A and B are shown apart, each in its own frame.
Chain A
Amino acid sequence: MGTAAHGSNSNVNYLNEFKGIKSWLLSLDHKRIGLMYMISILTFFFVGGIMALLIRYELFAPGKQLLSPDQYNQVMTYHGAMMVFMVIVPGIPAILGNFFLPLQIGAADVAFPKLNLASWYVFMFGAAIAISTFFSTKVDTGWTFYTPYSIKTGTAVVAMVLAAFVMGMSSILTGLNFIVTVHKLRAPGMTMFKVPLFVWAIYSTAILQVIATPVLAITLLLLAAERLFGVGVFDPALGGDPVLFQHFFWFYSHPAVYIMILPAMGIVSELISAFSHKVIFGYKAIAYSSLGIAAVSFIVWGHHMFVSGQSEIAGVLFSFLTMLVGVPTAIKMFNWLATLYRGSVTFYSPMLYALGFLFLFAIGGVTGIMLASMGVDVHFHDTYFVVAHFHYVMVGGTLMALMGGFYYWFPKMFGKMVDDRLARMTFVLIFIGFNVTFFPQFILGAMGMPRRYFDYIAPYESLNKISTMGSWLIASGFLLSLYAMIKALKSGEKAPSNPWGAKTLEWQTSSPPPHFNFDKKPTVTGGPYDY
């Protein structure tokens, strides 16, 4: 990117300019807030990951291994709720979005720094409420809180939905902040078609966060009102309609799937261009397809309810509309492939994760199209096929991109290089482990193994054993990542300003950046991928 600005040459940066715990907890610096999100979210990821391992261990063989059926339901609920509401939804926007969105548009900070800090506190407050329920009557509804069971169960559903409500509030505040930042704080010369595609992705996500999250908030409040006052909106015994809950819930939660995947797609655009050393193919098509995905995501939610008693007409309509998501998504895939074509591709660890994303997301996406077809979904809906599909999109997609993003931007965030040999080993472990864990689940689903169950019959045993062993590989990959990053922080080689030779603005300032990102306000003259 043609610019006329650079970062500080001194050793003073955002990490060492201010010292003490107070300088972190009261910091208005978007980079420090991003790091606070990172520490909290990675902690939640660790806990959610342990629960995933417990689920897989329980399913290692038929019958009880470690958990009782009730404990299994609870662990499954907390795994889902934590991973969705506390890890994947906030993950990329709150960590990498917070850190890099202002840097990539040449701004000193986000538009509302105090609101940004408030978002973190609101998020932590919500997370604290969610965690507190684990020490009372543990919720056992699954992360979707489906009625009528969620009305009847004697567990801490109200507190848990309150937690999701509060974390949703944080999500809205972050989204609002990012929208205003993109509109108002771009560096001189940076038109909307000169912003990096990661910014476009975060921007599209922010729109979803602001528009969709209030519906979740209302739905959860209605559920709480139903439990506390017996209003009768969802409870069939009181004249309510349990499927209406699913309509309201998925009106948020389906766009939320795109809140989770769009930022990942933004990272992949950055990685593929940077490690192909080539201008991204179809910049505008990728940018518009982000908005296209955001728009279409609002009219497809009924595909979660093909077997819930939804009317056939609504089902057919939602089935057709769901297929439309394939169009903007495929546009992105083809553009990424075309970017790779005749590029000078280098296989550093971030690029391996980006390529892993392409492979796994393609499987997740294509099985999504299968499930969008109502006739097929009737058979697969409540089986492990859907579990595999969802994890291919969310873990194979979002988490692969998040890991790629971490390894790509780590030198900028901390001023240290990660040992790339170790980082590539983490990719191998996670990629192989992921496929060993989740591919057998497609087969199990096709064989008819129902999801959410504590136990299963003997014919499913061997594939379940393979799946569980895969989960150990994934865990070892993430632990090795943790080791690689801690090792880099302690004794990593000092990172130059631009170790990858990338063109976006964050690489034009020092590593780590100074407090206000750039010593002089950048002036942009070229595109973000002018190689």
Chain B
Amino acid sequence: MSQHHVIPFKTYMKVAAALVALTFLTVICHELHLGPLAGPVAFLIAAVKAALVLLYFMHLKYDNMQNRVIFGSGLIFLLLLIGFSALDIWTRVQSMSTL
């Protein structure tokens, strides 16, 4: 574990630049009108941005395994929430569904 690991300023700037670039990419993708792919692509870009923030700004890349596992468990709960809710919506009788 490198509790006192100091990330160089340069790295922070690179990550910030990547986040700005990905924001532009999101806008470009929106303009391209990707149809049914629009949502998944936007989510993918957002996930990459979130990962960059977690890894560098929140130091998860340099953290110990225990904290990574704790963070990972949070993701599992998120997957549970989305997974079960989606399962319900996808398996409803369509003629009776509000969606």
Task: Show the binding face of A for B, using Cβ within 8 Å.
Answer: 211-212, 215, 236, 239, 241-244, 247-248, 251, 298-299, 301-302, 305, 309-314, 317-318
Once bound together, how far apart are the Cα atoms of A324 and B77, in whole Å? 18
- Give B67-99 as 1s and 0s: 1 = Cβ < 8 Å from A's Cβ atoms: 000000110010011001101111111001111
Query: Which residues on B sit within 8 Å (CB–CB) of A311?
Result: 87-93
| Complex Cα spacing A248 to B74, Å | 16
Once the chains are docked, how many angstroms separate the CA of A318 from the CA of B83? 13
Q: How big is the B interface, by class? A: 10 to 19
Q: B residues within 8 A CB of A236?
A: 98
Asked if residues A298 and B80 are in contact (CB atoms below 8 Å), the reply is yes
Q: Which residue of B lies closest to A235 (CB)?
A: B98
- What does the 1/0 interface line of B39-70 toward A look like (CB < 8 Å)? 00000000000000000000000000000000
Not counting A211-B74, A215-B81, A251-B80, a sample of 4 additional A-B residue pairs whose C-beta atoms are within 8 angstroms of each other reads A243-B88, A310-B88, A311-B90, A311-B93
Contacts of B77 in A (CB 8 A): 211-212, 298
**Nearest-Cβ distance from residue A299 to partner chain B, whole angstroms:** 6
Q: Within 8 Å CB of B74, what residues of A? A: 211
Complex A-B: 10 CB contacts under 8 Å: A243-B88, A251-B81, A298-B77, A298-B80, A309-B98, A310-B88, A311-B89, A311-B91, A317-B87, A318-B84
Q: Is the interface of B mostly helix, strand, loop or mixed?
A: helix
Nearest Cβ in chain B — how far from A15, in angstroms?
38
A211-B74, A236-B98, A241-B99 given as contacts; is B87 within 8 A of A248 (CB)?
no
- Chain A contact residues: over half helix, strand or loop, or mixed? helix
CA distance A318 to B88 in the complex (A): 10
- Tell which of B73, B87, B96 touches A313, judged by Cβ atoms closer than 8 Å: B87
Flag if A309 contacts B81 (CB, 8 Å).
no
Q: How far is the CA of A236 from the CA of B96 in the complex (A)?
A: 13
Q: Is A243's CB under 8 angstroms from B84's CB?
A: no
The docked-state distance in angstroms from the alpha carbon of A248 to that of B25 is 31
Contacts of A244 in B (CB 8 A): 85, 89
Bound together, the chains give a CA A314 to CA B83 distance in angstroms of 11
- Measured in the bound complex, the distance between the Cα atoms of B99 and A242 in whole Å is 10
Q: Shortest CB–CB separation between residue B73 and chain A, in angstroms?
A: 8
* Residue from B73, B84, B89 in contact with A302 in the complex, judged by beta carbons closer than 8 Å: B84
> How far is B88's CA from A251's CA once the two chains are assembled, in angstroms?
14
Q: How far, in Å, is A132 (CB) from chain B's closest CB?
A: 31
CA distance A28 to B74 in the complex (A): 31
Q: How far is the CB of B4 from chain A (nearest CB, A)?
A: 18
**Do the beta carbons of A299 and B93 come within 8 Å of each other?**
no
In the complex, A98→B72 CA distance in Å?
29
Looking across the interface, which residue of chain A has its beta carbon closest to that of B99? A241
How far apart are the CA atoms of A248 and B77 in the complex, in Å?
12
A211 to B71, CA, bound (A): 11
Residues of chain B lying within 8 A (CB to CB) of residue A211: 73-74, 77
Q: Are B99 and A299 in contact (CB under 8 A)?
A: no
Tell me which residues across on chain A come within 8 A of B80, comparing CB atoms. Answer: 251, 298-299
Q: How far, in whole Å, are A236 and B81 apart by their CA atoms in the complex?
A: 21
Please name all residues of chain B whose beta carbon is closer than 8 Å to the beta carbon of A215 when the two chains form the complex. 81
Nearest residue in A to B97 (C-beta to C-beta)?
A309
Q: Report how far A184 CA is from B92 CA in the complex, Å.
A: 48
> Given A236-B98, A241-B98, A242-B98 in contact, is the A314-B84 Cβ separation under 8 Å?
yes
Assess the B81–A248 pair: CB atoms within 8 A: yes
Among B85, B90, B92, B99: residue with most chain A CB under 10 A: B85
Query: 8 tightest A-B contacts by CB?
Result: A314-B88, A311-B91, A247-B85, A311-B92, A313-B91, A236-B98, A311-B88, A251-B81
Tell me, rounded to whole Å, the shortest Cβ–Cβ distance linking A248 to chain B.
Answer: 7
Give the distance to chain A from B26, nearest Cβ to Cβ, in Å: 19
Residues of B within 8 A of A299 (CB): 80, 84
